[in-house]
Amino acid sequence: MHTVAVLSLKGGVGKTTVVLGLASAAMRRGARTLVVDLDPQCNATASLEPEETARGLSDVLAHPRADVLRDAIGRSAWGDEVDVLVGSEDAEIHNGHDRHDRQLARLTDALSELPVEEGEPPYQLVLLDCPPSLGRLTRSALVAADRALLVTEPTIFAVSGVQRAFEAVQSERTENNPRLQPLGVVVNRIRQRSQEHQFRIEELRDIFGPLVMPVSLPDRLAVQQAQGACMPIHQWGTPGAREVALSFNLLLARALRAGRNRHGVELDDSGEDDAEEFDEQDA
């Protein structure tokens, strides 16, 4: 099981969009995925429309036991490959800012109790959708994760936010989770003809070097349309959706390669082939 925290310390940059896009790409590839909605706004939960559960994230953080976790996970409306640890609006009560918080390991403890149902494969990928602040919820995700994916837009304020997020990853790695590594920085909502966007991408490359993902996510209306219809981007079917889906295929391939390298097991390594196949189908 490979666990990726998706975060930004600036709101509105499309962090949940990246989580949903990766889940969509993983579903298309048959990789069983769990989305953990840590954001009290619960946007990932709303978009995935899971079946009703008896409990939610707030209960899991209060009582990180196997039975509570089981009651908080629902099958998404997308299909059997994507489940949701449903978000809770009252999860904000768990979002303290104590630097030496003893409750930071609760999410890790809970995920270690993930049930393996008879006849179902274990989760290959766990995506942690973090709130846009550096409280206990985001820090708990960084303690639980193998990799951290930083999301930004090509704007001056978003670039500042991703710098702070990177510093948070490095701090948590030093203090609480030595296995945590940055997966990279993905730039969302790119308009290729915008000189401002190109300037900000170069600025990010100056700051983060090879950590800036070679694939960026284009700004396409299809993303909002698919989310509004509670559908995976890979099933939306418009030219814009296919373009975005291809980018998510490549992003997922990088995440899975990182997981394979970290754990020494072959999770999946056909992302480039998958993207080429997607390109041929579009043509």
Q: pLDDT tens digits, residue range 40-50?
A: 999 999 999 99
Residue 264 reports pLDDT greater than 70: no
Q: Residues 224-236: what's their mean pLDDT?
A: 95
pLDDT at 81: 94
Q: Are 162 and 8 in contact (CB under 8 A)?
A: yes
Judge whether residue 1 has pLDDT over 60: yes
Mean pLDDT throughout 249-259?
A: 90
In this predicted structure, the answer to whether residue 94 has a pLDDT above a threshold of 90 is no
Judge if pTM exceeds 0.85: yes
pLDDT at 100: 61
pLDDT at 68 exceeding the cut of 90: yes
DSSP 95-149: ----TT-GGGGHHHHHHTT----TTSPPPSEEEEE--SS-SHHHHHHHHH-SEEE
Position with higher pLDDT, 159 vs 242? 242
pLDDT, average across residues 53-78? 95
Going by pLDDT thresholds of 50, 70 and 90, the confidence category of residue 272 is very low
pLDDT at 11: 87
Mean pLDDT of 207-231: 94
Per-residue pLDDT at 283: 32
Exposed/middle/buried for 178, CB within 10 Å: 0-12, 13-18, 19+?
Answer: exposed
Rounded mean pLDDT of the chain? Answer: 88
Q: Is the pLDDT of residue 76 over 90?
A: yes
Asked if residue 281 has pLDDT above 50, the reply is: no
Task: Give 262's pLDDT tier (boundaries 50, 70, 90).
Answer: low
Please classify residue 21 by burial: count the beta carbons closer than 10 Å to its beta carbon, then call 0-12 exposed, 13-18 middle and 19+ buried. Answer: buried
Question: Tell me, what's the pLDDT at 157?
Answer: 84
Residue type, 216: S
Percent of the chain beyond pLDDT 90?
72
For a pLDDT cut of 70, what percent of the chain falls above it? 89
Q: What is the pLDDT of residues 102-151, one digit of tens each?
A: 789 999 999 998 877 777 789 999 999 999 999 999 999 999 999 999 99
Q: Residue 279 has which token pair?
A: 């390109």
What is the biggest distance separating any 2 CA atoms in the chain, rounded to whole angstroms? 54
| pLDDT at residue 174, rounded to an integer | 94
- Ramachandran region of residue 209, left (φ > 0), alpha (ψ -120 to 50) or beta? left
Residue 168 has pLDDT above 50, yes or no: yes
Residue that has been written with the tokens 């308009």 in this structure: 191
